[in-house]
Amino acid sequence: MSLPIEPFVVADDRAVSGAAGTTGAPDYVVFLGRRRLVLARLRRNRAAMAALVLLVLLLVSAFLGPMTYSWITGASYTDYDVTEVLQPPSAEHWFGTTGIGGDVFAQTMRGLQKSLLIGFLVAVISTGLAAVVGAFAGYLGGWVDRVLMWAVDLLLVIPSFLVVAVLGRGLGEAGWPVLALLIALFAWMITARIVRGTTLSLREREFVLAARYSGVSAPGIVFRHLIPTMSSLLIIDATINVATAIIAESGLSYFGFGVRPPDVSLGTLIASGTQSAFTFPWLFLFPGGLLVLTTLAVSVLGDGLRDALDPGSTRRARR
Amino acid sequence: MGRFLLRRLVHHLVLVFVATTLAYVVASIALDPRSRYEGRNPAPPPAAVDAQLSAYGVNDKDPLIERYAHWMGGVLRGDFGTTVTGGSINDELWSRALVSLRLLVIGSVVGAVIGVLVGVVSAVKQHSFTDRLFTAVSFVFIATPVFFTAVLLKLGALQVNEAAGETVLYYTGYETPGLEAGFWDTVKDQVAHLILPTLSIALGLIAVFSRYQRNAMLDVMNSDFVRTAQAKGLTRRHALYKHGLRTALIPMASLLAFSLGTLVVGATFTEKIFGWHGMGEWVVDSITRDDINVTATVALFTAVFVLFSTLISDVLHAVLDPRVRVTA
């Protein structure tokens, strides 16, 4: 169904519209669900759409790229051709070669895979944790709320980069999922506070009261009513967390506290490229450029989602 | 206002203590100074290794509480202990702290002030080319990690230096070693060394501040009291800058407090890349070398810095927003 110029939405509930033509409402009144409206607003935001396309491209090249690349040029992540050391970008090696003959494109794609995986994992864990803790704290109140918020304040005080760096060094051999868990453990606190605030205002709404009086248990109310109501907030937060998680992980890996060799991530690649950034710039610029592109795409998409889900946040100054 | 600040000070002091304690505990558990003595040939006798580690206060066979009490007792007396190589932490502490503070303070002030200005301009000229340009550039800088910006700046400095034929922009160290010159020449030299590292930190801050300031300013521009002021007869500019700007600045004080954590981490990268011997470089080296005391000391320094800056931002908040002074 194509949209008229600016559809006048009467209700979210399709039951109101009934069978075609029986409501007596004029033709230009269109009943749309909230999801359609949000998607339409998102589609109109050209920057966010471009970011989405870019992100899909990056995902495809990160996960399908290496196979296609080795099919086209024959080079892969584990090949070290010592006859072609430190070559600039060419047809056989799209991003050039490293100091020991490794192919930069293959390594960068592998690093991008790792960074994207860690970013998404951190976002999911931290947003999930924030949602659960915040909703329970807000809904149950009392001493549960006090204890949970005290824990949140405590975690906010800790210098998180330092602690994750130290712990990452101690647990380095356990692999990147543990690293993702560590980063997520220090990323959920602010969202938990926001979720708690929203829960406090949602607590007295009729649908929650109705659920309570019908005997739904507290966890049931939290998971089946409160958290789904806040889903737009959580989606925006998760998207933005992906960007911050990727930057955090690459920062840690840059110093050697995150992903360890022989694993590569964009951070480790940038670190090894930094020493030769002046003389062999392709070692540094390609991983770094891809990192910036990824984070940029995710940030712009998150911003676009926020504008689509909450149009009151776009401001027009009245002259 | 005095009582308000006093309460906040006590609150922050408790947080400093908690943060340092946690950092010490985590470092003691996760770092392993004993590994520095392993793999040596001939292997040192275990008793000697134990004695050495105990002398430094980092023996993992001693109970954690004892080690912590010993270290904390020293700190309260002003002695921060020894590094894993036996050097005194106090000796290096003050010079490194000054180096870091120079970078942090100047970077944050420059970043905040220019960020606010950019945000205001962006809001006043909303949807113009300038606004769109600033917004796009801000997005890019928010997405770029500090270490990438820093190395790109170094690359750019190299090109500038080559084009100018002489060293215009310095990208290593915080002063020219062995420079014997008068006061003003020394200051000029240090400022010249400061430019690039400050830019590395400040650009990210400018991006974040300008985005938030733009939103805050737009809110103010649409608000009733500005409209009333204009209806009274003030020009739009007068109403905006005399009444609106102060209100729009209030969220910036909170943002300053929040952005401190990222600022310190960014300074760590900058110090490492530009070769500044500050606290950030020290902590990275110490984590790599399994040095518990230095890690805890730097955590303490970071917590104290965050405390002072948060206090300053609380004062700013109280100055800008009279409601805080009245209700506190």
pLDDT in tens, A216-266: 888 988 888 888 888 888 988 899 899 999 999 998 888 888 887 778 888
Residue A293 domain flag: yes
Closest chain B residue to the Cα of A244, Cα to Cα:
B143
Q: How confident is the model at residue A30 (pLDDT cuts 50, 70, 90)?
A: low
Across the interface, whether the CB atoms of A251 and B218 are under 8 A apart is answered no
Structure tokens at B51: 């004695």
**22-81 in chain B: CB under 8 A from chain A:** 22-23, 26-27, 29-32
Q: For residue B229, how many C-alpha atoms fall within 13 Å in the half-sphere facing its CB?
A: 18
Residues of B in contact with A154 (CB under 8 A): 18
Count of domains for chain A: 1
Residue A291 domain flag: yes
B166 to B157, B159, B169: CA distances (angstroms): 11, 11, 9
Domain range for A93: 45-309
For residue A251, give the nearest of B31, B145, B283 by CB distance. Answer: B145
Q: Are A318 and B222 in contact (CB under 8 A)?
A: yes
Give the CATH number for residue A288.
1.10.3720.10
B21 part of contact set with chain A, CB < 8 Å: no
Res. A157: pLDDT tops 80: no
Q: Are B97 and B300 in contact (CB under 8 A)?
A: no
Residue A9 domain flag: no
Nearest to B149 by CA among B197, B116, B114: B197
Query: Which are the contacts of B235, defined by CB distance < 8 A and separation ≥ 6?
Result: none
Residue A1 domain flag: no
**204-233 in chain B: CB under 8 A from chain A:** 215, 218-219, 221-222
pLDDT in tens, A129-140: 999 999 999 898
Res. A46: pLDDT tops 80: yes
pLDDT in tens, B215-243: 888 888 888 888 898 899 888 888 888 88
DSSP helix/strand/coil, A80: strand
Residue A24 domain flag: no
Q: How confident is the model at residue A311 (pLDDT cuts 50, 70, 90)?
A: low
Specify the pLDDT at position B166.
73
Å from A317 to nearest chain B CA? 6
Res. B70: pLDDT tops 50: yes
Residue A32 domain flag: no
Residue A193 domain flag: yes
Res. A294: pLDDT tops 90: yes
Closest chain A residue to the Cα of B270, Cα to Cα:
A251
**So what's the ipTM on this one?**
0.82
Residue A86 domain flag: yes
For residue B23, give the nearest of A163, A171, A291 by CB distance. Answer: A163
